[in-house]
Amino acid sequence: VQHERLHVKHRGHEAMHAEMVLILIATLVVAQIVLVQWKQRHHRSYNLVTLVQMWVVPLYFTIKLYWWRFLSMWGMFSVITSYIIFRATRKPLSCRTPRMVYKWFLLIYKLSYAVGVLGYLAIMFTMFGFNVFFRIKAEDSMDVGVVMLFYGLYYGVMGRDFAEICSDYMASTIGYYNKGGMPSRSLSGDICAVCGQRILVEVEEEGLIEDTFQLSCGHIFHEFCIRGWCIVGKKQTCPYCNEKVDLKRMMNNPWEKTHVLYGQLLDWLRYLVAWQPIIIGIVHGINFSLGLE
C-alpha cells in the first residue's frame, strides 16, 4: 500500500525529470560557450574573476561547516602568498624577487603534486581493499585520500594562478616582456629577460651562477628562470619575442613530463571548482522558477 501511494504521489515526475535534465544540459552548453568567449576576448578579467572565486568560495564553506584544519592552512597560504605578490608588484623590482617568487610557487607546485598523488593512491588503496590488511576502516582511509587529493589539487590550482599574475607583473616591470606588443627595453645577449640579471658573471662579481637554457628562437635564460616561467607561471612563449616554446624539448627527464600533464589537469580543474557550483546554482534557480521538483 505504501509503495502504491508513493507511485501515486510521484506520478508524472518522469516527464518532469526529463525536463530538468534537458535544462541542465542546455545550461551547461550555454555556460561553456559564454565562458570560452569571455576567456578568449577578456582573458585577464576571466582569470581574475575565476581566481577570486576559487579563493573566496571555499572560505565560505569552511566557515559554515567548521572545517578549521582547512581554514588554518588557507590562512597560512594566503598570508605568505600575499607577501610574495606584494614583493612581485613593487617598483623598482629587487633583483632577488623573481627567484624568490618562483621558488615559493615551485615549492607549492611540487607539494601539491606529491599530496595529490598520495591522496589518489590512498583512494585506490581503499577501493582495492588493501586497508583490510592493515586493519584500517574503509571510511577512514577513504576520507584521508579524498582530503589529500582535494588539498593537492586546490592549492596546485591556486599556486599556478597566482604565479601567472606575478610572472606578468615582474616581466613587465623588468621591461623585456610585453604581453600585448613590443617590449619597452632591448635585450642584450648577456641578460636573462625573466629576472633581468646577467647570465654570465665575471670572477669576484656579484651575480647568479647557474646553468643556462637556449630556446629555439635563440634567446638564452637561466635554466631555473625559464623553467619557472614556463612550468610554474604557465607561460609557453619566449619571455622576450613571444615565440612558442617547445616544452617537450625542455623536459629531458621523463619524470618532468608528468609535471606538465599535472599542470594541464589543474588548468581543467579550475573551471570545475570555480564555475561548476555557480552553474548548478543557476540550474536550481531555473527549476525552482518553473516549479520543477
The rounded distance, in Å, linking the Cα atoms of 48 and 60 is: 19
Q: What is the mean pLDDT of residues 96-100?
A: 81
Q: What residues contact 145, with CB distance under 8 A and at least 6 apart?
A: 119, 120, 121, 122, 123, 124, 125, 126
The residue type found at 143 is: D
Are both 108 and 166 inside the same structural domain? yes
Q: How many domains does the chain have?
A: 3
* Residue at which a domain ends, from 173, 195, 215: 173
- Radius of gyration, alpha carbons of the chain: 24
pLDDT in tens, 107-137: 888 898 899 889 999 999 999 888 888 888 8
Closest among 189, 184, 162, 186 to 173, alpha carbons compared: 184
Q: Is residue 166 part of a domain?
A: yes
The model's pTM: 0.71
Q: What is the pLDDT of residues 35-74, one digit of tens each?
A: 888 888 887 788 788 888 888 877 887 888 888 888 899 9
Q: What is the CATH number of the domain that holds 246?
A: 3.30.40.10
- The Cα–Cα gap between 141 and 144 comes to 5
Residue 184: DSSP 8-state: S
In a domain, 50, yes or no: no
In a domain, 52, yes or no: no
- 229 residue type, one letter: W
Torsion, Cα of 88, 92, 98, 104 (10° steps): -30
Residue with cell 647557474: 210
Tell whether 88 is covered by a domain.
Answer: yes
Please give the residue range of the domain that contains residue 201. Answer: 175-250
Rounded to an integer, the average pLDDT of 176-189 is 63
State whether 197 and 221 are in the same domain: yes
Angle (nearest 5°) at CA 215 between 230 and 182: 75
* C-alpha span between 13 and 117 (Å, rounded): 42
Instruction: Give me the mean pLDDT over the 16-26 stretch.
Output: 85
Q: For residue 178, count CB atoms less than 10 angstroms from its CB and return exposed for 0-12, middle for 13-18, buried for 19 or more.
A: middle
Query: For residue 71, which amino acid is it?
Result: L
For residues 180-189, average pLDDT: 63
The reply to whether 193 and 166 lie within a common domain is no
Let me know if residue 234 belongs to a domain: yes
Q: Is residue 53 part of a domain?
A: no
Euclidean distance between CA atoms 290 and 271, whole angstroms? 28
